Protein backbone atom coordinates (compact mmCIF):
# COMPACT_ATOMS: atom_id res chain seq x y z
CA UNK A 1 0.00 0.00 0.00
CA UNK A 2 1.20 3.55 -0.75
CA UNK A 3 4.16 4.94 -2.63
CA UNK A 4 7.77 4.95 -1.48
CA UNK A 5 8.71 7.72 0.93
CA UNK A 6 11.76 9.87 0.26
CA UNK A 7 14.46 10.51 2.87
CA UNK A 8 13.90 13.49 5.15
CA UNK A 9 15.22 14.58 8.50
CA UNK A 10 17.23 17.77 8.31
CA UNK A 11 16.02 20.08 5.60
CA UNK A 12 14.37 23.27 4.50
CA UNK A 13 11.30 24.31 2.61
CA UNK A 14 11.37 25.30 -1.02
CA UNK A 15 11.18 28.91 -2.06
CA UNK A 16 7.84 30.64 -2.10
CA UNK A 17 6.15 33.97 -1.67
CA UNK A 18 5.30 35.21 1.81
CA UNK A 19 4.69 38.29 3.92
CA UNK A 20 4.43 39.24 7.58
CA UNK A 21 0.80 38.16 7.78
CA UNK A 22 1.62 34.79 6.26
CA UNK A 23 4.52 34.42 8.69
CA UNK A 24 2.18 34.92 11.62
CA UNK A 25 -0.24 32.42 10.14
CA UNK A 26 2.54 29.85 9.73
CA UNK A 27 3.70 30.36 13.31
CA UNK A 28 0.13 29.91 14.52
CA UNK A 29 -0.24 26.72 12.48
CA UNK A 30 2.94 25.22 13.91
CA UNK A 31 1.97 26.37 17.39
CA UNK A 32 -1.40 24.65 17.10
CA UNK A 33 -2.21 21.19 15.87
CA UNK A 34 0.26 20.82 12.98
CA UNK A 35 3.27 19.68 14.98
CA UNK A 36 1.32 17.06 16.86
CA UNK A 37 -1.09 15.92 14.20
CA UNK A 38 1.85 15.22 11.93
CA UNK A 39 3.39 13.07 14.61
CA UNK A 40 6.25 15.51 14.76
CA UNK A 41 8.98 14.62 17.23
CA UNK A 42 12.81 14.06 16.91
CA UNK A 43 16.49 13.75 18.12
CA UNK A 44 18.91 14.02 21.07
CA UNK A 45 22.73 14.48 20.62
CA UNK A 46 24.52 13.27 17.47
CA UNK A 47 25.52 9.65 16.92
CA UNK A 48 26.75 7.78 13.88
CA UNK A 49 24.20 6.28 11.53
CA UNK A 50 25.57 2.83 12.28
CA UNK A 51 24.53 2.91 15.94
CA UNK A 52 21.26 4.79 15.43
CA UNK A 53 19.08 1.81 16.34
CA UNK A 54 21.05 1.13 19.52
CA UNK A 55 20.90 4.82 20.47
CA UNK A 56 17.11 4.73 20.12
CA UNK A 57 16.90 1.87 22.60
CA UNK A 58 19.14 3.64 25.11
CA UNK A 59 17.22 6.90 24.73
CA UNK A 60 13.97 5.05 25.31
CA UNK A 61 15.31 3.45 28.49
CA UNK A 62 16.45 6.79 29.87
CA UNK A 63 13.29 8.75 28.98
CA UNK A 64 10.80 5.90 29.51
CA UNK A 65 9.72 6.21 25.88
CA UNK A 66 9.94 3.67 23.10
CA UNK A 67 12.28 4.32 20.18
CA UNK A 68 9.20 5.20 18.12
CA UNK A 69 5.74 3.92 17.27
CA UNK A 70 5.92 1.21 14.62
CA UNK A 71 3.19 0.61 12.04
CA UNK A 72 2.22 -2.34 9.81
CA UNK A 73 4.51 -2.85 6.81
CA UNK A 74 1.71 -1.80 4.46
CA UNK A 75 1.87 1.78 5.81
CA UNK A 76 5.29 2.38 4.24
CA UNK A 77 5.33 5.08 1.58
CA UNK A 78 3.56 8.38 1.04
CA UNK A 79 -0.20 8.81 1.15
CA UNK A 80 -2.71 11.39 0.00
CA UNK A 81 -4.57 12.42 3.15
CA UNK A 82 -7.85 14.18 3.67
CA UNK A 83 -8.09 15.51 7.20
CA UNK A 84 -10.93 17.32 8.93
CA UNK A 85 -11.12 19.05 12.29
CA UNK A 86 -14.39 17.65 13.66
CA UNK A 87 -14.59 19.36 17.05
CA UNK A 88 -12.61 21.86 19.09
CA UNK A 89 -13.51 22.15 22.77
CA UNK A 90 -12.14 24.43 25.50
CA UNK A 91 -13.41 22.87 28.75
CA UNK A 92 -11.92 25.58 30.99
CA UNK A 93 -12.89 28.54 28.79
CA UNK A 94 -10.79 30.67 26.46
CA UNK A 95 -9.42 32.79 29.31
CA UNK A 96 -7.07 29.99 30.42
CA UNK A 97 -5.93 29.01 26.92
CA UNK A 98 -2.49 30.50 26.19
CA UNK A 99 -3.19 30.74 22.45
CA UNK A 100 -6.81 31.94 22.47
CA UNK A 101 -6.44 33.77 19.13
CA UNK A 102 -5.25 30.58 17.49
CA UNK A 103 -8.23 28.69 18.92
CA UNK A 104 -10.64 31.34 17.65
CA UNK A 105 -9.01 31.28 14.20
CA UNK A 106 -9.28 27.47 14.04
CA UNK A 107 -12.96 27.60 14.99
CA UNK A 108 -13.62 30.26 12.39
CA UNK A 109 -11.55 28.90 9.49
CA UNK A 110 -10.77 25.20 10.04
CA UNK A 111 -13.65 23.57 11.90
CA UNK A 112 -15.51 21.17 9.61
CA UNK A 113 -13.23 21.93 6.65
CA UNK A 114 -11.41 19.19 4.74
CA UNK A 115 -7.68 19.69 4.18
CA UNK A 116 -5.77 17.73 1.51
CA UNK A 117 -2.07 17.01 2.13
CA UNK A 118 0.45 14.15 2.13
CA UNK A 119 1.91 12.08 4.96
CA UNK A 120 4.77 9.58 4.73
CA UNK A 121 6.08 6.51 6.55
CA UNK A 122 9.49 4.87 6.13
CA UNK A 123 11.75 2.31 7.78
CA UNK A 124 14.30 3.11 10.49
CA UNK A 125 17.61 1.39 11.28
CA UNK A 126 15.77 -1.42 13.07
CA UNK A 127 13.60 -2.13 10.03
CA UNK A 128 10.43 -0.78 11.67
CA UNK A 129 7.97 1.34 9.69
CA UNK A 130 7.61 4.72 11.43
CA UNK A 131 6.17 8.13 10.65
CA UNK A 132 8.51 10.49 8.80
CA UNK A 133 7.90 13.18 11.41
CA UNK A 134 9.96 16.06 10.01
CA UNK A 135 8.69 15.63 6.48
CA UNK A 136 5.10 15.20 7.69
CA UNK A 137 5.28 18.36 9.77
CA UNK A 138 6.43 20.42 6.79
CA UNK A 139 3.88 18.84 4.43
CA UNK A 140 1.00 19.54 6.81
CA UNK A 141 2.13 23.05 7.74
CA UNK A 142 2.53 24.05 4.08
CA UNK A 143 -0.86 22.58 3.22
CA UNK A 144 -2.37 24.77 5.95
CA UNK A 145 -0.40 27.98 5.48
CA UNK A 146 1.32 27.87 2.09
CA UNK A 147 5.05 27.60 1.26
CA UNK A 148 7.42 28.19 4.18
CA UNK A 149 10.70 29.43 2.63
CA UNK A 150 13.77 28.96 4.77
CA UNK A 151 12.14 26.71 7.36
CA UNK A 152 14.60 24.33 9.04
CA UNK A 153 13.60 21.06 10.71
CA UNK A 154 16.03 18.94 12.74
CA UNK A 155 15.03 15.32 13.33
CA UNK A 156 16.61 11.87 13.22
CA UNK A 157 14.51 8.83 12.38
CA UNK A 158 16.53 6.65 14.79
CA UNK A 159 16.33 9.14 17.68
CA UNK A 160 12.72 10.23 17.29
CA UNK A 161 11.89 11.93 20.58
CA UNK A 162 12.77 15.52 19.76
CA UNK A 163 11.92 17.76 16.81
CA UNK A 164 13.22 21.30 16.27
CA UNK A 165 11.56 23.72 13.87
CA UNK A 166 13.02 27.12 13.06
CA UNK A 167 11.24 29.79 11.04
CA UNK A 168 13.45 32.64 9.80
CA UNK A 169 12.80 35.82 11.73
CA UNK A 170 10.01 34.17 13.67
CA UNK A 171 9.22 31.65 16.40
CA UNK A 172 11.22 28.46 16.85
CA UNK A 173 9.76 25.30 18.37
CA UNK A 174 11.14 22.29 20.20
CA UNK A 175 8.83 19.32 20.67
CA UNK A 176 9.89 16.49 22.99
CA UNK A 177 8.06 13.23 23.55
CA UNK A 178 7.93 12.39 27.25
CA UNK A 179 5.85 9.20 27.18
CA UNK A 180 4.66 6.86 24.46
CA UNK A 181 2.23 3.93 24.27
CA UNK A 182 1.62 1.56 21.38
CA UNK A 183 -1.08 -1.09 21.66
CA UNK A 184 -0.73 -4.51 20.07
CA UNK A 185 -1.74 -4.65 16.42
CA UNK A 186 -5.08 -6.43 16.03
CA UNK A 187 -4.26 -8.29 12.81
CA UNK A 188 -7.75 -9.74 12.43
CA UNK A 189 -9.62 -6.46 12.95
CA UNK A 190 -6.72 -4.46 11.42
CA UNK A 191 -6.74 -1.89 14.20
CA UNK A 192 -4.08 -0.12 16.27
CA UNK A 193 -4.19 2.48 19.06
CA UNK A 194 -1.25 4.78 19.78
CA UNK A 195 -0.68 7.53 22.35
CA UNK A 196 2.06 10.08 22.94
CA UNK A 197 2.58 12.73 25.62
CA UNK A 198 4.85 15.58 24.61
CA UNK A 199 5.99 19.06 25.54
CA UNK A 200 6.23 21.95 23.08
CA UNK A 201 8.46 24.92 23.86
CA UNK A 202 8.11 28.00 21.64
CA UNK A 203 10.72 30.76 21.65
CA UNK A 204 8.65 33.75 20.61
CA UNK A 205 10.33 37.00 19.46
CA UNK A 206 9.76 39.78 21.96
CA UNK A 207 9.01 37.46 24.89
CA UNK A 208 11.44 37.08 27.80
CA UNK A 209 10.37 33.52 28.60
CA UNK A 210 9.45 30.69 26.22
CA UNK A 211 5.84 29.57 25.89
CA UNK A 212 5.35 25.98 27.07
CA UNK A 213 2.51 23.63 26.22
CA UNK A 214 1.93 20.03 27.29
CA UNK A 215 -0.20 17.75 25.11
CA UNK A 216 -1.32 14.22 24.46
CA UNK A 217 -2.06 12.77 21.01
CA UNK A 218 -4.27 9.67 20.95
CA UNK A 219 -4.77 8.01 17.56
CA UNK A 220 -7.02 5.09 16.66
CA UNK A 221 -6.07 3.49 13.34
CA UNK A 222 -8.11 1.18 11.09
CA UNK A 223 -6.97 -0.19 7.72
CA UNK A 224 -7.82 -2.71 5.01
CA UNK A 225 -5.91 -4.47 2.26
CA UNK A 226 -8.21 -3.40 -0.55
CA UNK A 227 -10.85 -0.72 -0.98
CA UNK A 228 -13.38 0.26 -3.64
CA UNK A 229 -12.18 2.93 -6.04
CA UNK A 230 -12.19 6.34 -4.40
CA UNK A 231 -12.31 4.91 -0.86
CA UNK A 232 -9.44 5.14 1.69
CA UNK A 233 -7.26 2.20 2.68
CA UNK A 234 -6.47 3.71 6.10
CA UNK A 235 -8.66 5.81 8.38
CA UNK A 236 -7.84 7.32 11.75
CA UNK A 237 -9.34 9.37 14.55
CA UNK A 238 -6.92 11.67 16.34
CA UNK A 239 -7.64 13.41 19.63
CA UNK A 240 -5.13 16.12 20.54
CA UNK A 241 -5.48 17.24 24.15
CA UNK A 242 -3.65 20.36 25.39
CA UNK A 243 -3.02 20.95 29.08
CA UNK A 244 -2.36 24.17 30.96
CA UNK A 245 1.26 24.81 31.95
CA UNK A 246 1.02 27.74 34.41
CA UNK A 247 3.87 30.21 34.63
CA UNK A 248 5.91 30.07 37.81
CA UNK A 249 3.94 31.60 40.68
CA UNK A 250 0.57 31.42 38.91
CA UNK A 251 -1.10 29.42 41.67
CA UNK A 252 -4.64 30.53 40.76
CA UNK A 253 -4.39 29.04 37.28
CA UNK A 254 -2.79 25.89 38.66
CA UNK A 255 -5.66 25.40 41.12
CA UNK A 256 -8.28 26.11 38.47
CA UNK A 257 -6.88 23.72 35.89
CA UNK A 258 -6.17 20.80 38.26
CA UNK A 259 -4.81 18.70 35.42
CA UNK A 260 -7.88 19.24 33.22
CA UNK A 261 -7.43 19.86 29.49
CA UNK A 262 -7.51 23.42 28.20
CA UNK A 263 -8.30 22.41 24.60
CA UNK A 264 -9.37 19.18 22.90
CA UNK A 265 -9.01 18.87 19.10
CA UNK A 266 -10.65 15.90 17.33
CA UNK A 267 -9.59 15.06 13.78
CA UNK A 268 -10.80 12.48 11.24
CA UNK A 269 -8.21 11.33 8.70
CA UNK A 270 -8.50 9.25 5.52
CA UNK A 271 -5.41 7.91 3.71
CA UNK A 272 -5.46 7.13 -0.02
CA UNK A 273 -2.69 5.69 -2.23
CA UNK A 274 -1.20 8.58 -4.22
CA UNK A 275 -2.68 9.12 -7.64
CA UNK A 276 -0.58 7.87 -10.56
CA UNK A 277 1.20 10.75 -12.34
CA UNK A 278 -0.22 11.87 -15.65
CA UNK A 279 1.79 10.48 -18.61
CA UNK A 280 4.01 12.97 -20.39
CA UNK A 281 2.67 14.32 -23.69
CA UNK A 282 3.49 11.88 -26.47
CA UNK A 283 4.49 9.11 -24.07
CA UNK A 284 3.44 5.60 -25.19
CA UNK A 285 0.44 4.13 -23.39
CA UNK A 286 0.35 0.79 -21.59
CA UNK A 287 1.17 -2.20 -23.76
Residues 6+ apart with CB under 8 A from 231: none
Residue 30 lies in a domain: yes
- Structural domain count, the chain: 1
Q: How far apart are CA 100 and CA 113, in angstroms?
A: 20
> How crowded is the C-beta side of 131, counted as CA atoms within 13 Å?
23
Confidence of residue 145 (pLDDT cuts 50, 70, 90): confident
- What pTM was estimated for this model as a whole? 0.75
Residue 118 lies in a domain: yes
Residue 6 lies in a domain: no
Residue 279 lies in a domain: no
Cα of 40 vs its chain's centroid, Å: 4
Percent share of the chain, pLDDT over 70: 69
Interval 36-82: pLDDT, tens: 555 532 222 222 223 333 333 333 433 344 579 999 999 999 999 99
Pick the closest to residue 32 from 125, 128, 110, 122 (CA basis).
Answer: 110
Three-class SS of residue 69?
coil
For residues 155-183, average pLDDT:
90
**E strand or H helix that includes residue 227:** none
Residue 94 lies in a domain: yes
Residue 144 lies in a domain: yes
At 246 the pLDDT is: 63
Residue 178 lies in a domain: yes
Interval 9-31: pLDDT, tens: 433 333 232 333 444 554 455 55
Domain range for residue 93? 11-65+76-272
Residue 283 lies in a domain: no
Is it the case that residue 141 has pLDDT exceeding 60?
Answer: yes
Q: How far apart are CA 183 and CA 272, in angstroms?
A: 24
Amino acid sequence: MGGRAGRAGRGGAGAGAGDAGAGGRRAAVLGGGALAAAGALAAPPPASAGNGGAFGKVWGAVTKTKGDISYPAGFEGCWDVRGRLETLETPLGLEVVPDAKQIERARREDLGQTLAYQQCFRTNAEGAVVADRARNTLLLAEAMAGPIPGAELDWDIDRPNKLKVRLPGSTSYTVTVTKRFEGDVDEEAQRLSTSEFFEQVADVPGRNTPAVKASRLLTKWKWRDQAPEGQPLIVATQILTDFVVPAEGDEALLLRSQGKPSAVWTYKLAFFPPAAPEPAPGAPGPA
